[in-house]
Structure 1
Amino acid sequence: MTYTLWGSAHSLYSGKARSYLIKKGLPFRERYPSDPEFGSRILPAVGHFVVPVLETDKGEIIQDSGDIIDFLEQRHAEPLLEPQSPVQQWVSLIFDAFGSEYLLPLAMHYRWSYRSEQETFLRAEFGRALAAGVDRATRREAAAQTMTFFAGFLPNLGVVPEVFAAMEDTYLALIDALDNHFQHHPYLLGGRPCRGDFGMMAPLFAHLGRDPVPAMLMKTKAPNLYRWTERMNAAPISDGEYPGYGEEYCDKDTVPESLIAVLKIVFADWTPGLKADADCFNAWAAHQQTGDLVSKSGQPQVHPNVGKVEYPWRGVTMKRGSAPHMLWMFARAQDLAAHSASEQLNGLIEQVGGQEAMAICLTKRIVRSKNMLVLD
């Protein structure tokens, strides 16, 4: 079986799905939305314009990078790309949600706040996804309107000049800690990647590791992290940079000390926004019914919001649209912890400052149905 990944090189979530397919060793071909078949077959099946989309040779269509991984994990047991012990599973889920959702505004900041410094590159990337078989000038021009549309997302993501410095300071601290970790370990949890690695690839490849301005920043400030983005797009599991390391997860459900340092940054940065999102969601959900679309507008959205949030963060005030999709992903780690009897996991949560975030409670459960978030 050869899968088809409908995506693009500059797409944040395509990077997550693509890396998984590569490391899983599954044969696939990647096709772009500029292909006429995307508009004639894939778009009607999904219901809205979005990538990535996975298509099987039997015509099955799966949208959402996380759903793609879940679908393929059920079909292909080997190679193992998820730890089997509770502490490491929890860590994997935390990094999956943190990378896929929390780092999205940072990725968009470095792409669009520095647009003028990387305009030609971005036009080429968006153009290749939109216009096939045309000359270079036409392709670049075709990209301009779509680029302006995506750049317009920044205010709703909370990315405004007043918070730029705080965002960039925390990003530098994060990539420095990750750089130290990847000097000693090929992947987050040892000798093979996990779901958390793929979640972190979402922002750290297409936007932060590939766009010219943030890519240069990563190369000069966190070269070991940049090398990890290359490793995550290479088929072999092992890497000769780590002789004798092996291809297993860390022993006895342990977490490397260097990753604990990263987790402390994760929860310090993430918790205020998670709490604000939960409060906003609970207030909105109080007036909704089971089966209702999770969207204040009542219209399908890839990243819906149910209102505005405002909270103090790193010496500034963050103001943005709420992020129920982030709450939905974070709930997987909460569910695992709630059903685990592991004292080791409880100890790790306390060690990294995660108790406050893990105690967040949603009054109604969010589920995914027909490519949309709805109330359970």
Structure 2
Amino acid sequence: MPSDSIFPATLYGSSISYFTGKLENYFRIKGIPYQLQALTHPTQAKRITAKTGSSQMPALELADGRWMSDSTPIIQWFEDEYPATTVTPTDPLQRFFSLLLEDYADEWLWRPAMHYRWHYERGARFASTHLTEEILTELPLPKFMTRRWITRRQRNGYTLGDGITKDQVAGVEAIYLRTLDQLEAIFRERPFLLGDTPSLVDIGFSGPFFRHFGLDPVPAELMRQRAPAVTEWVARLWNTRLENCKGSLLQGIPDDWGPILDEIGGHYLPYLCANVEAVAAGQRRFDADIGGVQYRRARWSKYRVWCLQQLRGHFQALASSDQQAARVLLERHHCWEPLWRHKELPIDDTVCSQLPFQVDVKMIDVYD
């Protein structure tokens, strides 16, 4: 990584945050100098809101004074600016499917990750205590009241308040258990998702696995018992530097990605379609039957409409021969139809059009 006026970057977030952890894994693997600073409320939150328009974590301040937001566009920017050591596959087909899996890990595995953290008392006690002592120290409340407040806030916004009532708990937890089994089969055969070295798709999966599933008491114990190779991968990724890697990526799309692609075709993309319909209709809450799980009064997300648009754009950027190969695989795993189900998307240009240097307004502020 060359010496540059933008380093070291300051990453404002939390040491138990989903997307803060994703960016930390990327920076460590890439060799990008950074320092983590707690996004304290209200002091740092007010400052970051003034700079970016939102106190969403993480926010990144470059040493030259520029501010950045949203982990995926931030990573894409650094990949373009510093391509000498890259996590992005050079093969166009691998790049497309890596971006698809990264988006899935970001936006769908978020649901079971938030559920395990805030649904169970053990998880809520751990997270609320940590956040109270890390980023909420300035609140003029006794600590026990702050813990109760943040637990209630998160449950109202991201578990119960996002369509996960007692009837959906088993279905949401099954997503995690299937994912453990899918990744365990991969990591028993090789150290990283696409071969001997980490790639973009490893970074994507590090979001839910490093700072949620691998850290929160309930899912972490499940991982240790059910998927020890996944547990080992979480630590290995954190301890890997690209400059020290001697291996290579596989050729093509691995067959053992198939079950993950089935999840994307059967769960994530249909959810994105239901969200598109809600945004188009102006419904901030919507019902959706996804993979046999009946979500009720889930929250709409304009950001996830943009995610779908980005996936389509990545496909359209492929050469015609690569598009044909990608379509065969997408159809095989039932991803093609939901990817293109809605001809027109209700895109709000104020949401994400200038990322990563102009903050989006994708959702209310959240403490992972």
Superposition TM-score, scaled by structure 2 size: 0.84
Q: What are the within-5 Å matches in structure 2 for residues 326-345 of structure 1?
A: 326-340=304-318, 341=320, 342=322, 343-345=324-326
**1:17: which partner in 2?**
23
Distance 1:364 1:274 in 2: 12
- Letter of the structure 1 residue corresponding to residue 360 of structure 2: M
Say whether the 8 Å CA contact 1:97–1:199 is kept in structure 2.
yes
Which of the residues 353, 356, 363 maps onto 2:345? 363
Distance 1:36 1:339 in 2: 42
Q: What secondary structure does 1:184 align onto? A: coil
**1:372: which partner in 2?**
360
Say whether the 8 Å CA contact 1:278–1:360 is kept in structure 2.
no
**2:4: which partner in 1?**
none
**How far does the alpha carbon of each residue in 1:268-313 deviate from its partner, in whole angstroms, 9 at most, with x for none?**
22233122112223334xxxxxxxxxxxxxxxxxxxxx52222223
Give every structure 1 segment of 4 or more consecutive aligned residues whose post-TM-superposition deviation is greater than 4 Å. Answer: 131-134, 137-141
Cα distance change of structure 1 residues 170 and 67 upon mapping to structure 2, 3 Å threshold: closer
Higher relative contact order (CA 8 A, sep 6+): 2
**1:269: which partner in 2?**
267
The percentage of counterpart residues that share the same residue type is 24
**1:191: which partner in 2?**
196
Which of the residues 152, 155, 159 maps onto 1:151? 155
Q: Which runs of 5+ in 2 are unaligned?
A: 1-6, 363-368
**2:223: which partner in 1?**
218
Cα distance change of structure 1 residues 272 and 2 upon mapping to structure 2, 3 Å threshold: same
Distance 1:47 1:81 in 2: 29
User: Please, which moves more after superposition, 26-35 or 87-96?
Assistant: 26-35
- Letter of the structure 2 residue corresponding to residue 273 of structure 1: Y
**1:256: which partner in 2?**
254
**2:294: which partner in 1?**
317
Distance 2:310 2:46 in 1: 35
Q: CA deviation at 1:95?
A: 1.3
**2:64: which partner in 1?**
58
**RMSD of aligned alpha carbons:** 2.6
Count residues in correspondence: 343
**How far does the alpha carbon of each residue in 1:198-221 deviate from its partner, in whole angstroms, 9 at most, with x for none?**
222222221211111111111111
Say whether the 8 Å CA contact 2:266–2:334 is kept in structure 1.
yes
Cα distance change of structure 1 residues 151 and 181 upon mapping to structure 2, 3 Å threshold: same
Which of the residues 72, 76, 87 maps onto 2:82? 76
Q: What secondary structure does 1:312 align onto? A: strand
Distance 2:49 2:348 in 1: 24
Distance 1:141 1:237 in 2: 44
Q: Which runs of 5+ in 1 are unaligned?
A: 240-244, 285-305
Distance 2:243 2:255 in 1: 21
Superposition TM-score, scaled by structure 1 size: 0.83
